Structure 1
Amino acid sequence: MGLPYSSRTLLSYGKVREVAQACDRADADAVIFLASLTERQQRTLTDMLGRPAVSLSHILAVD
């Protein structure tokens, strides 16, 4: 049995689907994660969710 989450996304595949569905229902423009994301995680989640995925720490670091 594998890990309950993917290191590529920080979430399980099922949770990524749930987040994507919630974003579709809310017509969200982006998804903000409290946890820091690596560049690979950001790219993977952006592709899977169909909208930008960013970490809060990245947003706070940009002026």
Structure 2
Amino acid sequence: MRRDPTWPPVSILAGADVVLVGLFSAKDKGFGAKLDLLSALVKAHGGRVVGRHVQRRGVSHGGAARMTESFSRRTLISPGKAREIAQACRVAEVGVAVFVNPLAKHQRAVLEDMFGCLVISGEDLFTVEQ
């Protein structure tokens, strides 16, 4: 039996410089561990983590009542944080931004345009197509 030369599938992260991004509730004390797990997953797929960006929800701008909500339907994170990450991605010539949080298709498109790189969610790393 011949082996399929495309198996195992090559990850979109192989050889890429990657930034990790996460929106977390101010009550979430384990956000660092979640980023560490995502970092390990990225490394297992051949990516190199070159930065981490965290936005905390509930620290300001609405307090406890809005801690589980996103800042923006377009970008998930606040416009200022999105601009900050976009600048960092361009300066570091990042290939992929990986969000801890799930992203809608339209959020990915907006963020890819802003960041100038591919944008995925950590959950995408578990699919066979990658």
State the alpha-carbon separation in 1 of the partners of residues 128 and 79 from structure 2: 29
Match of 1:42 in 2: 108
State which drifts further: 29-38 or 17-26: 17-26
State the alpha-carbon separation in 2 of the partners of residues 19 and 62 from structure 1: 28
RMSD: 2.0
Structure with the higher fraction of residues in helix conformation: 1
Identity of aligned residues (%): 38
Q: Deviations over 1:21-60 (max 9, x none)?
A: 1112222111110101011111111111111111010122
Q: Is the 8 A contact 2:90 2:116 kept in 1?
A: no
Provide runs of 4+ in structure 1 moved above 4 Å: none
Structure with the greater alpha carbon radius of gyration = 2
Which 5+ residue runs of structure 1 have no aligned equivalent?
A: none
> TM-score of the superposition, structure 2-length normalised?
0.43
Match of 1:61 in 2: 127
Match of 2:89 in 1: 23
Higher relative contact order (CA 8 A, sep 6+): 1
State the alpha-carbon separation in 2 of the partners of residues 14 and 62 from structure 1: 34
Find out whether 1:52 has 2:118 as its counterpart: yes
Which 5+ residue runs of structure 2 have no aligned equivalent?
A: 1-65
